[in-house]
Amino acid sequence: MMLLYQCGGMLTIFVALELTSISLYILTAFHKGELRSQEAAVKYFMFAQISSAFLLFGHELHNGMTGATSIFAIGEAI
């Protein structure tokens, strides 16, 4: 979480969110014996990956419009 707080660029925001998500996937599938836990982990993983794809698409739109990946440069351009 501290990495997400200290991010200055769009790429580091994405990496920080993905690193946070890895631990959440593990916690979701913690009960190995239960089928519901495994099903929930797979559904959460698929939903998170689709959401990450949309997030990357939005980052690329900002990058295409402004030509920068820094949050401060994007704020100045907008």
Query: What is the per-residue pLDDT for 1?
Result: 62
* pTM given for the model: 0.76
Compute the Cα dihedral for 17, 19, 20, 21 and give only its sign: positive
Query: What is the rounded end-to-end Cα distance, in angstroms, of the chain?
Result: 27
* Average of per-residue pLDDT values in the chain: 87
3-state DSSP assignment of residue 9: strand
Two structure tokens written together for 53: 């794809």
- pLDDT per residue as tens digits for the range 23-36: 888 888 888 888 89
3-state DSSP assignment of residue 70: strand
Give the mean model confidence (pLDDT) for residues 46-64: 91
